[in-house]
Structures are given as structure tokens and as C-alpha cells.
């Protein structure tokens, strides 16, 4: 496999793009992301599902061009075994780094624009729940999809022998079982799925781009809210390592503004219970993924640092846990 800069030069040559200065961009957790001549962003996929992910995102972004502030995709393909996507570079600052310095009016304007973009996404009516990719299953019932994902996670905990606090997984599974009926409402729409302030660029008081739609999926519109809430509660999980200086209070104004400008998103029946279930399933899945990625390199006692994922579940299982909004 070529080094990143050599790979970028080969990709640009294939696509007929000039390639002078190449700069590595921060924040790419799944893909390698490089800026070419300040004009093009070349994203090179990692992981086995890179082709399906970036193909799906390229199709979604093309369908949204002119309707929402998303990057323009210039190319998608493979070169020397490397899956790549090329986007036009969008000027802007990540919203989470800009938010505290914005005026109240700028915060409201930007949130209104986010709400408008979400309404464009959520206006897409789909025929099934799941990821619109050839390598993923389809579901006709939303609750069944989440229940299947949770069960797969629980089965892996058992199969791998990953230890947790006694009774903790059983408590989480029981909570899901007791409340899963609230997942009956909702129709499949296009959901970004990771719309945190890290994936929103702002410039001159407006949204300049909404990024990273490779994990967008077909889900009820309210599924958008759990990741946004998770970011507001735990912003330093998403912040770059040299900028972990935030707290929940910094972003407390986001949800009142979003509810003001996109009220229909908050009118889902049993909204709070639904969001709680989304958090529960995602927290367990994230904890499991981290443990699997590090089982061969860290001893069991070194795993404790990530057990805070498990503690967070209690925020949503118990009535007085931390939340950014109540439904």
C-alpha cells in the first residue's frame, strides 16, 4: 500500500486533477483525509466496508446537492486497491470550536439552518429501516432492528467473555425489553446519524457544510437526536486531543433553539423513552467495539478507562440521570 501522499497523487492523476500541496486534515477517525491545493478533500477509506460506505455517501451527497449545505462530490472510485472519494473543499470552522464565541443571534441563525437541513433529510421517505447499502440487512420494523443490534452486542459480550459489573448487562437488557414498545411509531427517512457539532462547518455566521454522511441510514427522524445529545453531554469525546476543554454547559442552548426551529422533530410520541433506548444500545455497542479493538494489546485491568461508557447508561435508565432535554 502506498503512503498517503503518493496515493493522493495517483488518485488525482487518475481523475485529471492538478495536485500540488498536500496537507493532512485532523479529525478523520475512520478515513484518511487530505487537502489538495486548498481546493479538494481526498478521503481514503479504511476498514473492510470502505467501498460500500463511501459509495453510499457519494450517492447521498449527490442527491442532496443544491437542497442542503453538503459538500459536492467530484469523484469516487478505487486506485491500486485504495477506495477514495474526492469532495470540493468547504471553508469553515467546526461548529463546536466556534459555538461559544458566536453571538446569540449567530447561534440561532446557525441552528435554524441546521434544522432546515434536517427537514430536507427527513423529507425523504424510504421503504425500509437500516443502512441503504448492499452489505447490510433491511428491516420492516424499527424496534426489531434495534432489538437485533442489541442482542448481537449482548451475544458478543458472552462469546468473548468480556466481564462487566455483575448484573449490569441484564439490567440494560431488561430495561430495553420493558420499554421497546415505544419504538413502534415512526417511518423510515434519511437520517444523518452522526450530526454532532464536529460534523458541521460554519463560516461568517452560517452553516457552510454538513460533513460525514457515510453512516447515514434509514430510520425515524428522532434517531437524529441521540447523537446530538451525546455530543452535548460529553463533548470531549469528540474534540481533538489538544482541544478537550469543553463541558455540557457550553452547549446547553442548542436544543431549545433546535426545538424552536424544528418543533416537529420533538413531537414524536414517547420521545424521551425512545432516545433513552437509542443511548443504551449505542453505549453498549461502543463499549464492546473498543474492547474488541484492544483485547490483544491491553490487559483486562487496562480496560477500565473505557468503562465510563457503561456508567453513562445509568443516565438514561434512571429518571434523574443527565439529559440535555426532556420529551
Predicted confidence (pLDDT) per residue in 97-133, tens digit: 999 999 999 999 999 999 999 999 999 999 999 987 7
To the nearest whole percent, how much of the chain has pLDDT over 90? Answer: 71
Residues 170 and 311 in one domain: yes
- Shared-domain flag, residues 150 and 271: yes
Full domain range(s) for residue 143:
93-317
Q: What is the mean pLDDT of the chain?
A: 91
* Domain CATH code at residue 143: 3.90.1200.10
| Predicted structure pTM score | 0.92
The pLDDT value given to residue 288 = 87
CB 279 within 8 A of CB 313: yes
Asked whether residue 128 falls in the same domain as residue 34, the answer is no
pLDDT 10s digits, 41-53: 999 987 788 899 9
User: Do 158 and 222 reside in the same domain of the chain?
Assistant: yes
Domain count, the chain: 2
60 and 184 in a common domain: no
* pLDDT(220) > 90: yes
Burial track 22-43 (b if 16+ CB lie within 10 A, e otherwise): beeeeeeebbbbbbbeeebbbb
| Residue 134 domain flag | yes
200 three-class SS:
strand
Higher pLDDT, 26 or 317: 317
Contact between residue 65 and residue 72 where contact means Cβ atoms under 8 Å apart: yes
Task: Judge contact between 198 and 303, C-beta under 8 A.
Answer: no
CATH number at residue 46: 3.30.200.20
Q: What is the pLDDT of residue 1?
A: 44
Instruction: Say yes or no to pLDDT of 150 above 80.
Output: yes
- Upper half-sphere CA count for residue 96 (Cβ side, 13 Å): 24
Amino acid at each position: 500500500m502506498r503512503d498517503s501522499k503518493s496515493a493522493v497523487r495517483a488518485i488525482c492523476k487518475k481523475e485529471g486533477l492538478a495536485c500540488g500541496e498536500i496537507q493532512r486534515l485532523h479529525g478523520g477517525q475512520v478515513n484518511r483525509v487530505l487537502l489538495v491545493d486548498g481546493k479538494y478533500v481526498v478521503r481514503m477509506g479504511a476498514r473492510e466496508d470502505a467501498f460500500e460506505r463511501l459509495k453510499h455517501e457519494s450517492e447521498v451527497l449527490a442527491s442532496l446537492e443544491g437542497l442542503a449545505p453538503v459538500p459536492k462530490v467530484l469523484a469516487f472510485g478505487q486506485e491500486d486497491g485504495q477506495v477514495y472519494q474526492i469532495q470540493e473543499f468547504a471553508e469553515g470552522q467546526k461548529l463546536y470550536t466556534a459555538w461559544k464565541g458566536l453571538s446569540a443571534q449567530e447561534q440561532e441563525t446557525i441552528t435554524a439552518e441546521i434544522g432546515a437541513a434536517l427537514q430536507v433529510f427527513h423529507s425523504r421517505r424510504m421503504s425500509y429501516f437500516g443502512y441503504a447499502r448492499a452489505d447490510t440487512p433491511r428491516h420492516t420494523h424499527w424496534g426489531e432492528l434495534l432489538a437485533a443490534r442489541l442482542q448481537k452486542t449482548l451475544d458478543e459480550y458472552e462469546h468473548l467473555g468480556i466481564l462487566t459489573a455483575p448484573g449490569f448487562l441484564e439490567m440494560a437488557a431488561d430495561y430495553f425489553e420493558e420499554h421497546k414498545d415505544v419504538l413502534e411509531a415512526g417511518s423510515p427517512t434519511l437520517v444523518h446519524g452522526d450530526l454532532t457539532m464536529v460534523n458541521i462547518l460554519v463560516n461568517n455566521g452560517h452553516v457552510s457544510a454538513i460533513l460525514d454522511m457515510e453512516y447515514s441510514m434509514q430510520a425515524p427522524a428522532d434517531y437524529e437526536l441521540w447523537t446530538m445529545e451525546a455530543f452535548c453531554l460529553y463533548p470531549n469525546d469528540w474534540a481533538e486531543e489538544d482541544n478537550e476543554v469543553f463541558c455540557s454547559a457550553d452547549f446547553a442552548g442548542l436544543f431549545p433553539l433546535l426545538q424552536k426551529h424544528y418543533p416537529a422533530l420533538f413531537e414524536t410520541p414517547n420521545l424521551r423513552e425512545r432516545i433513552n433506548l437509542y443511548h443504551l444500545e449505542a453505549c453498549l455497542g461502543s463499549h464492546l467495539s473498543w474492547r474488541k479493538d484492544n483485547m490483544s494489546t491491553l490487559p483486562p485491568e487496562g480496560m477500565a478507562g473505557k468503562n465510563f461508557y457503561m456508567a453513562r447508561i445509568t443516565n438514561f435508565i434512571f429518571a434523574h440521570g443527565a439529559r440535555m432535554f426532556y420529551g
